[in-house]
Amino acid sequence: MSETRILVTGGAGFIGSHLVRRLLDEGHEVLVVDNFYSGSRANLADVLHDPRLEIVRHDVTFPLYVEVDEIYHLACPASPVFYQRDPVQTTKTSVVGSINMLGLAKRTKAKILLSSTSEVYGDPQVHPQDESYWGHVNPIGIRSCYDEGKRCAETLFFDYRRQHDLPIKVARIFNTYGPMMRPDDGRVVSNFIVSALRGEPLTIYGDGTQTRSFCFVDDLVDGLIRLMRTPHEVTGPINLGNPHEFTMTELAEKVIAMVDTGVGVEYHPLPSDDPTQRQPDITQARGVLGWEPKVQLAEGLTTTVDYFRRQLAAQSVG
């Protein structure tokens, strides 16, 4: 495969850092653009020496003038803790950031992929969710900055396609977990693991019957790369996620058994607009990309628990 210069916005974040490693392993030049709001240079510590990696501190809500062949547009905080902290900036990142990256793609004739989200489906009334479902989203709630920001980003991508014949790809990413997650990001897998490792009760919001589907990050990155390499006529949106559904109670029980610190569970009220079900229909991913997740939850959780155990041990030494 010929060497390509690839821009990854949000490349110092959780998913972005894994994607950057994969692209470097394949021999590409990689330009990481990140404002480090929720990402961290430490996520790329093991590849900082690579001469094909360049990291630029930049906010995508401002234009960027570089020469690239492909753009993976991942920039945007994806955990409620971070995107609700500055909701106006979250919407700007999705909307203005997408306009800037699409403009860059148009100028450089680069292929561009948007990391959209299952949150475009809102609290779904269709189960499982396939790409033809338009969603059930509150436009004025506390999660709307992210949900509607990503919906608008998808609109922009398809309008650039229709108006300028831009080679776009849109991936709708479902719950993803693995090493490089922040311990304070407020997502359920990291919350459960960190609480268990600290010997604290796991917090379940609601009655524990709401469901999620958990995809290990290595599988997700493979799906993104496969989507980017599809022919021009393939645009998506394509769901990328694990179709195996688990309740919050089932996930808590798995983490407690794995960490084995004898902790219990506490129940708290369900946050506003928190979806009760989330499960991808990945028929398109299987058919178009030849992709489906390979890492089972037990295997992925073991790797993730080991990562957080090392992180917390390093913090206690420091």
Closest CA to 241 of 182, 300, 186: 300
Q: Establish whether 205 is a catalytic residue.
A: no
Q: How far is CA 138 from CA 123, 141, 189, in A?
A: 9, 6, 25
Asked if omega into 237 is within 30° of 0 (cis), the reply is yes
Q: Give me Rg for the CA atoms of the chain.
A: 19
Phi first, then psi, for residue 137 (nearest 5°) are -120, 135
- Give alpha helix (H) positions in 38-86: 80-83
Which of helix, strand or coil describes residue 29?
A: strand
The answer to whether residues 278 and 118 touch, using CB atoms and an 8 Å cutoff, is: yes
The 8 Å CB, 24+ separation contacts for 43-48 are 43/12, 43/13, 43/14, 43/16, 43/17, 43/180, 44/11, 44/12, 44/17, 44/20, 47/20, 47/21
Closest CA to 53 of 76, 15, 23, 73: 23
| Strand-strand pairing, 70-73 and 215-216 | unpaired
Q: How far is CA 263 from CA 183, 202, 272, in A?
A: 18, 7, 27
Spatial separation of the C-alpha atoms in residues 256 and 249, rounded to whole Å: 11
Write the DSSP symbol of residue 111.
Answer: E
Say if residue 225 is exposed, middle or buried (CB neighbours under 10 Å; 0-12, 13-18, 19+): middle
Check 37, 83, 146, 160 and give the catalytic one.
Answer: 146
Q: What positions carry a catalytic annotation?
A: 146
